[in-house]
Amino acid sequence: MTESTTPRPKALIVLSSARVLPLSEPAGHPGIPTGFFLVELAAVMAEFERDYDFILATPDGRLPQLDVNGLALNFQAGGNLGTATARTTIQSGVQRFGPEKLREKNPDLLKRRESELALAHRLLGRIPVSEPLPRTDAEAISVRDDAVAGFDALPQRQYLSIPQLIQRHRDPASGFSLADLAFVHMPGGHAPMVDFNDNPWMGELLHTLRETDIPISLICHAPVALTSARHRIDGDGKVTTDPDHAFKGARITTVPKYGEKAMLGFQYPKVPGERTRLTYYIDEALKDAGYDVNLTLNPSAAKVVWDAGHCLLTGNGPQAVDEQAARLAEIVRGRARDSLSRTH
């Protein structure tokens, strides 16, 4: 019996390569270390790993950076994020549990993190891990050295830039077409605020994907990429801007401003002793760009929105990633079945 030579379907993963998140306050602050949240990527890759190959990309082709803050145990809780955050906060604060005791009391969260780090080793290769911040979770800090050592021991994978993706798509001799992708997924963490926002090449990528009817999955801070949709880039590299572009009015969700302000007030982005503010808020930027932004009153509640007309699937944070991965699988596999039935 011979193995099948049929190529596996491919999916595109686009991660931010930003390493520093600027702040508007405190004035003159150099910015804080940032990166992507593994949990918002791993759930999707785990859903498709058995049957799909992944093409990795960042806006500029530099390696992405994993945000150590996203390794905190509470972020591994999926739709139970609010409950897990309250529990681990009490355990580490009121009950004064150290990192080892915290892991002992939260075995399911620990198991998920270990599984997702193993997946990252298999699929992402050697990548950097962000430096901890003054308010980074103590348990996450305690595993950072092991995380860094684990990634440093790996071979480096190729990460294409978005211009390379577009140029290969446009070159008939390349054998590569964005139209052949099963889907595209972009995870959050704060990093996309830096290089997904108002990026003409990102705009060209989004429009090319929409025109070829490829599902686009964006979660947490990654929907900020849609601010780039007002831009197109032609074959000569000329940028044109259209405020009434084809994505305008799409129904989406993302991180709410009130959730961000709570993080800035009490959690890892907070600069100790200082009022801490971002340079902008994603939900406001997307509303200003003409999108129908749907938010939850409770920032820890999961929300996933599928806008079939724009081929857009969006989720509001790590609490939504399991639901989003399942919905994406339903969309992608449903399309594959429909395509197979048409060919027969």
Mean pLDDT taken over the chain: 96
pLDDT at 336: 82
pLDDT of residue 246: 97
Q: Is it the case that residue 85 has pLDDT exceeding 90?
A: yes
Does some domain include residue 141?
yes
- Taking 70 as the threshold, does the pLDDT of residue 5 lie above it? no
109 in a domain, yes or no? Answer: yes
Is 265 within the bounds of a domain? yes
**Could you list the residue range(s) of the whole structural domain that residue 142 is in?**
10-343
pLDDT band with cut points at 50, 70 and 90 for residue 337: confident
Q: Is 4 within a domain?
A: no
User: Stretch 144-164: mean pLDDT, rounded?
Assistant: 98
Residue 1 lies in a domain: no
User: Which backbone phi and psi does 156 adopt, to 5 degrees?
Assistant: -85, 130
- Return the CATH number at 196: 3.40.50.880
Q: Quick one: pLDDT band at residue 341, thresholds 50, 70, 90? A: low
Residue 3 lies in a domain: no
Q: What is the pTM of this model?
A: 0.96
Rounded Cα distance between 316 and 7, Å, is 34
For residue range 26-70, list pLDDT tens digits in order.
999 999 999 999 999 999 999 999 999 999 999 999 999 999 999
Q: How many domains does the chain have?
A: 1
Residue 2 lies in a domain: no
User: Average pLDDT of 235-264?
Assistant: 96
Residue 90 has pLDDT above 50, yes or no: yes
Q: For residues 299 and 70, give the distance between their C-alpha atoms in angstroms, rounded to a whole number.
A: 16
